C-alpha cells in the first residue's frame, strides 16, 4: 500500500473530526485536542512531497518528527513518539504479528514517556486491545481491529482518569470518552478502511 495514500486517509479523518475531538476535550481537558490534531494533520499533509520515494519506515519517522514539532500540548510528544517507535520496529512489509510487536514497543515507549499505564483513561487503552487482536490474528482481522478500537475508546468513559488534566476532575470525568483514545480509534479505523478500500463503505460508530 502506498504510504502517502495511507497518511492522507488518516490525516483527513482527523481534520474531518476536529469538532468532535474538540467537544470531547472541552468536557474533561484543555479543549484544544481537536485543533492540535488538525494542526498536526495539516503539517503532515504538507510533507507529502517529501514522502515521495520514501519507505514506510522513513515516512513514519518523518510524520512522527512533524507531530513533535507542530502539535501542541502532550499530543505532539505522544503521537510523535508512537510513530517514531513504529518506524524503528516495523519490517519493510509488516504482517499482523509484526504490527503487534511494534505496538507493544510503542506502548512501552509511551508508558516511559508519560508514566501512564493501561487502564488509566488514555490512548493506551485503545492501543493495547488492538495489539492483542493483532497478536491473535485470525479471520476478518481488519474488521475486528476497527470495531475493537472504537469499543475500547468508548470504554474509557467508564474509567477513572489518572493522568492529565482530566485526573483533577475525579469522578466528574466518568461518563466522558478520553479524547486521545477517540482520536486513536479514528486513526486506526482510517487505516483499516484504507486496507479494505475495495469493500463497501461502512458507517462509523
Task: Give the tens place of pLDDT for each residue, 98-113.
Answer: 999 999 999 999 999 9
165 within a domain of the structure (yes/no): yes
* Segment 48-85, tens digit of pLDDT: 999 999 999 999 999 999 999 999 888 999 999 999 99
pLDDT reading at 2 higher than 90: no
203 within a domain of the structure (yes/no): no
Cβ contact 181:29 at 8 Å: no
pLDDT of residue 82: 98
167 within a domain of the structure (yes/no): yes
pLDDT of residue 173: 54
Range of the domain at 91: 3-195
pLDDT of residue 27: 87
pLDDT of residue 196: 83
201 within a domain of the structure (yes/no): no
200 within a domain of the structure (yes/no): no
Q: Residue 110: which CATH number?
A: 1.25.40.340
* Segment 168-177, tens digit of pLDDT: 344 555 678 9
For the chain, the domain total comes to 1
- Cβ neighbours for 100, distance < 8 A, ≥ 6 positions apart: 131, 132, 134, 135
pLDDT reading at 161 higher than 70: no
- The pair phi, psi for residue 173, each rounded to 5°, is -80, -15
More confident residue, 93 or 107: 107
**What is the rounded distance in angstroms from the CA atom of residue 132 to the CA atom of residue 86?**
16
Whole-number percent of the chain with pLDDT over 90? 77
Q: pLDDT grade, residue 116 (50/70/90)?
A: confident
Amino acid at each position: 500500500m502506498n504510504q502517502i495514500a495511507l497518511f492522507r486517509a488518516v490525516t483527513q479523518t482527523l481534520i474531518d473530526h476536529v469538532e468532535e475531538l474538540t467537544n470531547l476535550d472541552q468536557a474533561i481537558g484543555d479543549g484544544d485536542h481537536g485543533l492540535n490534531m488538525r494542526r498536526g494533520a495539516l503539517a503532515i499533509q504538507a510533507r507529502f512531497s517529501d514522502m515521495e520515494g520514501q519507505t514506510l519506515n522513513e515516512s513514519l519517522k518523518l510524520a512522527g518528527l512533524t507531530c513533535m514539532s507542530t502539535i501542541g500540548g502532550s499530543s505532539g510528544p505522544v503521537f510523535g513518539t508512537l510513530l517514531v517507535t513504529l518506524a524503528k520496529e516495523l519490517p519493510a512489509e509488516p504482517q499482523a504479528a509484526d504490527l503487534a510487536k511494534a505496538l507493544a514497543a510503542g506502548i512501552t515507549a509511551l508508558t516511559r514517556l508519560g508514566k501512564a499505564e493501561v487502564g488509566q483513561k488514555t490512548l493506551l487503552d485503545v492501543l493495547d486491545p488492538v495489539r492483542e487482536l493483532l497478536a491473535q490474528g485470525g479471520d476478518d482481522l481488519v474488521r475486528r481491529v476497527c470495531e475493537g478500537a472504537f469499543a475500547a475508546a468508548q470504554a474509557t468513559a467508564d474509567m477513572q482518569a489518572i493522568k492529565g488534566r482530566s485526573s483533577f476532575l475525579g469522578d466528574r470525568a466518568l461518563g466522558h470518552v478520553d479524547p486521545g483514545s477517540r482520536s486513536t480509534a479514528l486513526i486506526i479505523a482510517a487505516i483499516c478502511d484504507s486496507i479494505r478500500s475495495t469493500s463497501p463503505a461502512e458507517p462509523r460508530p
